[in-house]
Amino acid sequence: MIGLSQSATDRDAAMNVPLQVALLATVLLAATPAAAAAPDPAPAAAAPAPAPALQAAMRDLWHGHIVHARDYAMAVHAADADRTTRAAAAVVANASQIADAVGGFYGEAAGEQMMDLLAGHWGAVKALTDARAATDGDAADTALDALTANAGAIAKFLAGANPNLPEDTVRGMLLAHGAHHSQQITQVMAGDRAGEAETWQAMQTHMDAIADALAGAIAAQFPDKAG
């Protein structure tokens, strides 16, 4: 299982980024898999969005990712081949939209690199889903290793593109996101509807935090372009 722990170093790093990003990174602690097993606490007050349209667009794009990935897991569990194919295609189409959004700020090459990284993320999630459906523990472990490595690669890319996104903080966000995928997949394959429903709520809250952190960092870097 992939988890998220926040060391003293991570907390110190978070204090050096804009308040918007630091607050949103802190909110992620309420959305880790450990917390997903219990009802979510009252949401923390969010900082005002510096670029509401960008924030809304980012939330919509990143929510699309988890919606389609969840649909894929459920289709695999139901052994619905047509739905499985459609869901997988929808995940790829959504990844292309996210990559295009990144390319709009950082250039075509950056957008293409982001697409490659998102393809790696989806490849690992898909492999994990298929492995859990087949109860193949070795394949699941390999997929989890790939998911962990991909989180580091995406974090390095985003931190290199935007100084408002500390690499360790972004990596922690993405590891927690991967943990949600892992937990959700396990619950779907087990037919645990109640547990999956709780994980799904935590996953959506966490996805908002990731989208908001990215939107806040981009707005800080490109105030004229993101406003």
Locus of tokens 């919606």 = 67
Domain ranges in the chain?
52-221
The model's pTM: 0.79
pLDDT tens digits, 63-101: 999 999 999 999 999 999 999 999 999 999 999 999 999
pLDDT tens digits, 107-164: 999 999 999 999 999 999 999 999 999 999 999 999 999 999 999 999 999 999 999 9
> CB under 8 Å to 214, separation ≥6 — which residues?
58, 158, 165
The helix/strand/coil state of 1 is: coil
Would you list the DSSP string of 136-177?
-HHHHHHHHHHHHHHHHHHHHHHHHH-TTS-HHHHHHHHHHH
Q: Distance (Å, rounded) from C-alpha 149 to C-alpha 154? A: 9
Which pLDDT belongs to residue 103? 96
Which pLDDT belongs to residue 227? 61
